[in-house]
Structure 1
Amino acid sequence: MRGRRPLEALNFFVADVQAGIGPFLGVFLQSAGWRTGAIGTVMTIGGVAGLLVTAPAGAVVDATRYKRLAIVVSSICTVIASCIVWYAHSFPMVVLSQVATAIAGALLGPAIAGVTLGMARARGFDRQFGRNQVANHAGNVVGAGVSGFIGWRFGFGGVFLVAAVFGVLAVVSTLLIPADAIDHRAARGLESDDGDNGDAPSGVSILVTCRPLLILAAALALFHLGNAAMLPLYGMAVVAAHQAEPSSFTALTIVVAQLVMVGTSLLAMRLIRTRGYWQVILVTFLALPLRGALAAFFINRWGVFPVQVLDGIGAGLQSVAVPALVARLMQGTGRVNVAQGAVMTMQGVGAALSPALGGWLAETIGFHGAFLCLGAVSMGSLGLWWGGRARLHEVRTGG
C-alpha cells in the first residue's frame, strides 16, 4: 500500500498531539492551586465542545478531498491551544484552551480513519487500522516517557515542548502521504473513485435506523462516563497522598497503559477474526468495574500497574474493534466517517461528563468512593451489550 509508512508515522506522532497535554493537565492545574472539582469542570466543558462538532467533522471528512489539510490544520491548532495553558492559568483561558483542543481533536479522529479507509479500502481497513493503533499507542508510550523525564528534569514546561515537537513531526508525516494514494469514494465507504459513477451515499438517517450502531454508541457512552475520569483522578489521588512526584508518576500511568495497548492492538484483529466483534468489545466492558475496584483500594505508586493494565486491555481492544465495527456496519452507505463521528460523539458525551462527575464525587465522598462509583457505571454498558448480542453476532469480519 503506497504511503503506509508515513500513515503509520502520522499515527505515532499524533498520539502526543490529539488530546493536547492530556493527563498532565490535571496535575499541572493541581500544582497551580486548582481544586479537583474545578479541574473536572474545565475538562468537561472542553469535552462538551468536542462532542458537539465530532459528527459534523465526520461529515466534512466524507465530503472533502482535502483530508490531509484537515489533519495538518488540526494538529497545529491543538499544539497552539495546549500552549495557552502554560502562559495563562485563569479559568477563562484554560476553558478556551480546552474548547479549542477538543474542536481540533474532533476532526483528527475521523480524518485519519477516512485517510486509512481511502488508502487500504474496505478489505484492508481492519488490518491497517490495527497497525495504525499499534503505532499510536507506541507514540503515546514514547511521548509520555519523554514528557515525564523532561517534566521531572526541567519542570512542566518540558511537557508542552514535547507536544510541540510531536505536532511538527505529525504535520511532516501527513505531507509525506501521497495525495493520489487516497481513494476518496472508498474513504467514505463507497466502492470506487469514479467521479459521479457508482453508488450514491445513503441518507444520514442510516445513523438512526442501524440498530447495532445505536447499541454500540449507547454502550460506549456509558463506558466512557465511568472510564474517562479514572486516569486523571488516579494521578491526582496518588499525588495528593504524597506517594509520587507529579510529572514522572503521570508519565508512568500513561506508559503502563499504552504498553499494554500496543500488545492488545496487535492481538485485537486476531481475536476479532476468531471471536467476532461482540466478544472482543464485551471484554472491554468487563474490565472497567474491576479497574474501579482496584483503583479504590490501591492508591499508591505501585497500584498504577494493575489499574493501568486493565485500562490498556479495554482501551487497546476498543481502539481497533470499534472503528473496524463501524466501518463494517456502514460499508456501502457512503457515510462511514459520519458514523465514526457519531459514535465518537456518544463516546464524547460520556467522556465529557466523566471528569466533572469524578471530580465532584472525589470532593464529596473521597477518592475511594469516586472510583467505586465510576466503575459501577459500566454495568449499564454490559446490560446494553448483552441485550444486543443477537444482532451484533451477525456482523461478520472482513476477508
Structure 2
Amino acid sequence: MNTHHTDRRNEWSLDWLNFFLADVRDGLGPYLAIYLLAVHKWEPASIGLVMTLAGVAALLAQTPAGALIDRTSAKRSVVVAAALMVTCSCLLLPWVTSFGGVALTQTVSAIAGSVFAPAIAAISLGITGPKAFTRRTGRNETFNHAGNACAALLAGGFAYVWGPIVVFYLMAMMTLASVVTASMVDARAIDHDVARGFIPGPVGAHAHPSGVRVLLANRPLLLFAVCCGLFHLANAAMLPLVSQKLAQVNLQMATPLTSACIVAAQLVMVPMALLVGIKADRWGRKPLLLAGFFILPLRGVLYVVSDDPYWLVAVQLLDGIGAGIFGALFPVVVKDLTQGTGRFNVSLGALSTVFGLGAALSPGLAGLVVQAAGYDAAFLTLASIAGTAFILLWLTMPETRNDSDAARNAPAPGIPPTLFS
C-alpha cells in the first residue's frame, strides 16, 4: 500500500471526523435550554439543574474514559459507539416531558460524550507522534469549529422554519457521517503505545502511574487543572444565559439568534486554532493561554452593557478567541506535562474531570444568581471567576514547551518567519 496515500487518507479522515463530530460531542448544548424553555416552559433554575446533573455525570466519567482509551486498541469503535449513544439519548427528548426523564437522557448523553476528547487526542497522537501533535491538534480544532459553525447555521435556518425540534434530526445526520469517517481511519496507522504518551525504554517500560497519581505528583499539571476548572466555571453558563435572554425578548428568533452566536464564535475559533497549531511550538504555550484566559472576563462584563440581540451576538465573537485558543492548547499542554508516562489519556481525562466540575456547576450557579439578582449579576459573577483564573495562570503556571519544539519550528537563518511557515 502506498504510505503517502495512506497518510493523506488518515489526515483527511481525521479532519472530517472532527468536522462531523462537532455537532455530536457536546449533545444539544445551548439548544437544550431553548428547547426546555420554549416547549416545556421550564424555569431557568430547573434548566440549570438538568444541565448540572448531566455535567456531574460527565465529570465522573472523564477519568475512566481516559483510562479506557489508554488501554483499548479499538479507539475508532469507541468513538462510533459513543456517537450513537449521544444521538439516541437526544432523539428521545421529544417524547420525554418529565424532569427525571430529561435528566436521565442528558446524563446518558454526557457519559457517552466523555470519551470523544481523549479518543480523538489519542488517535491523533498515535498517528502523528509527539513531534507533529501540536499541528495536528490545531487542525483537529479547526475542523471541529468549522463543523460547529456549519451545524449552527443549518440549525438556525431549519429551526426558523420548523421550530427547535429540528436540531435533533440534524444531530442524527451528523452522527451517521461521523460513523463513516471514523471507519475510514486506518486502524493499522495508530501506534497505541505512542497514543497513550508511552516512550519505549527504561522509563517508559516501567512507569505506569495512575491518572490520580500523575495529577497529584505533577505540580504544573495540578495548577493547570485548577486554572481550567475556574475557566469553565466562568465560561460554561454564558451562552445558555444569552440564549435565555434572547428567548425572553423574541421566542421565535431565540434559536436562530443562538445559532448566530455560535456561528460567530466558531468562525473566529477557526483561525485561532490554526494560529495555535502553527505557532504554539515557536511562541510557547503560556502567552497564547494568557490571551485566551483574558478574553473571558472581558466578555462577561460586555454582556451587561446591552440586551440588544446584535450586541450579544457581537460579544460572542470574543468567545471564539478565548475558547479557540484554549481548545487547541489543552491537549498539547497535557501532552507536554505527561510525555513518557504512558498515561496521557488518563491524565487528559483527569484534567477534563476538573474542568468538567467547573462546567457542571456553572449553569446551576448562574441559574441561582439569575433568580436572586438577575442576568447582569450572573454575568458579572462569572466574569469575576474568570478574572481569578487569569491571575492564577499568569502568576503560577510555567511555560510547558520543550526546547526541542522551539528549535524544530524556528525559521532558517536569513528567512523571516511567517504565519504559515
8 Å Cα contact 2:285/2:401 also seen in 1: no
Q: Distance in 1 between matches of 2:401 and 2:137?
A: 22
Asked if the contact 2:337–2:400 (Cα under 8 Å) also holds between the matched residues in 1, the reply is no
Query: How far is the alpha carbon of 1:393 from its aligned partner?
Result: 5.8
Q: In the alignment, is the contact (CA less than 8 A) between 1:234 and 1:299 conserved in 2?
A: no
CA contact (8 A) 2:285 2:329 kept: yes
Matched residue of 1:6: which SS? helix
Distance 1:385 1:74, change over 3 A: same
Q: Pairwise CA RMSD of aligned residues?
A: 1.8
Give 1:151 shift. 1.1
- Going from structure 1 to structure 2, the CA distance change for 1:201 and 1:14 (only over 3 Å counts) comes to farther
**1:276 touches 1:396 (CA, 8 Å); kept in 2?**
no
Q: 1:138 to 1:209 in 2, by over 3 A?
A: same
Distance (whole Å) between structure 2 residues aligned to residue 103 and residue 248 of structure 1: 28
Q: Residue in 2 aligned with 1:203?
A: 209
Post-superposition shift, 1:242?
A: 3.0
Asked whether 1:87 is paired with 2:95, we answer: yes
**Match of 2:199, as an amino acid?**
E
Query: Following TM superposition, by how much is the alpha carbon of 1:395 offset from its aligned partner in structure 2, in angstroms?
Result: 5.0
Q: Are the counterparts in 2 of residues 243 and 300 from structure 1 also a CA contact under 8 Å? A: no
> How far apart in 2 are the matches of 1:397 and 1:172?
37
Q: Distance in 1 between matches of 2:402 and 2:35?
A: 44
CA–CA distance in structure 2, aligned partners of residues 397 and 287 of structure 1: 30
Q: Which residue of 2 aligns with 1:348?
A: 356
Structure 2 residue 120 is the aligned partner of structure 1 residue 125: no
**Paired letter, 2:295:** A
2:403 and 2:52 mapped to 1: Cα distance? 36
Task: Answer yes or no: is 1:17 the counterpart of 2:28.
Answer: no
In structure 2, the partner of 1:299 is 307
Return the offset for 1:157.
2.3
Larger deviation, residues 299-308 vs 183-192:
299-308
Deviation at 1:241, TM superposition (A): 2.5
Q: Does 1:323 pair with 2:369?
A: no
Does 1:251 find its partner at 2:259? yes
2:404 and 2:203 mapped to 1: Cα distance?
A: 27
Matched letter for residue 364 of structure 2: A
Deviation at 1:394, TM superposition (A): 6.5
Structure 2 partner of 1:379: 387
Query: Does structure 2 conserve the Cα–Cα contact (< 8 Å) formed by 1:190 and 1:332?
Result: yes
Change (3 A) 1:12 1:397: farther
Q: CA separation in 2, counterparts of 1:305 and 1:274? A: 33
List alignment gaps of at least 5 residues for structure 1: none
**Alignment map for 1:1-399 (pairs within 5 Å):** 1=7, 3-31=10-38, 32-191=40-199, 199-204=205-210, 205-242=213-250, 245-389=253-397, 391-392=398-399, 395-396=402-403, 398=405, 399=408
TM-score (norm 1): 0.95
Question: Number of matched residues?
Answer: 396
* Residues 238 and 301 in structure 1, CA contact (< 8 A), matched pair in contact too: yes
The secondary structure found in structure 2 opposite 1:296 is coil
Per the alignment, in what secondary structure is the counterpart of residue 3 of structure 1?
helix
Q: Structure 2 CA distance, aligned partners of 1:265 and 1:393?
A: 18
Distance 2:234 2:349 in 1: 21
Q: Quick check: 15-24 or 198-207, which moved more? A: 198-207
Q: Distance in 2 between matches of 1:135 and 1:222?
A: 26
Judged with a 3 Å threshold, the aligned counterparts in structure 2 of structure 1 residues 340 and 197 are, in CA distance, closer, same or farther, namely closer
Q: How far 1:184 moved relative to its partner?
A: 0.4
Post-superposition CA distance 1:169-202 (Å, at most 9, x none): 111110111110111001001236x9x9962443
Q: Give the Cα–Cα distance (whole angstroms) in 2 for the partners of residues 186 and 273 of structure 1.
A: 19
User: Is the Cα contact below 8 Å between 1:189 and 1:330 reproduced in 2?
Assistant: yes
Q: Which letter maps to 1:230?
A: M
- Which secondary structure does the structure 2 equivalent of 1:175 belong to? helix
Equivalent position amino acid for 1:202 in 2: H
Q: Deviations over 1:94-138 (max 9, x none)?
A: 101111111001011111111111011111111111111100000
In the alignment, the residues of structure 2 paired with residue 146 and residue 311 of structure 1 have an alpha-carbon distance, to the nearest angstrom, of: 20
Structure 2 CA distance for aligned equivalents of residues 264 and 346 of structure 1: 24
State the Cα distance separating 1:240 from its structure 2 match.
1.0
Q: Equivalent pairs: percent with the same residue?
A: 38
Helix, strand or coil: the match of 1:199?
helix
Superposed CA deviations along residues 359-396 of structure 1, whole A, max 9, x for unmatched, are 1111111111111111111122123212224x336655
Please list every run of 5 or more consecutive structure 2 residues that lacks an aligned counterpart in the other structure: 1-6, 409-421
Aligned letter for 1:164? Answer: A
Offset, 1:304? 2.7
| Contact 1:226–1:375 (CA under 8 A) maintained in structure 2 | yes
1:248 and 1:99 mapped to 2: Cα distance? 26
Q: For residue 384 of structure 2, what is the amino acid of its counterpart? A: A
**How far apart are residue 263 of structure 1 and its match?**
1.2
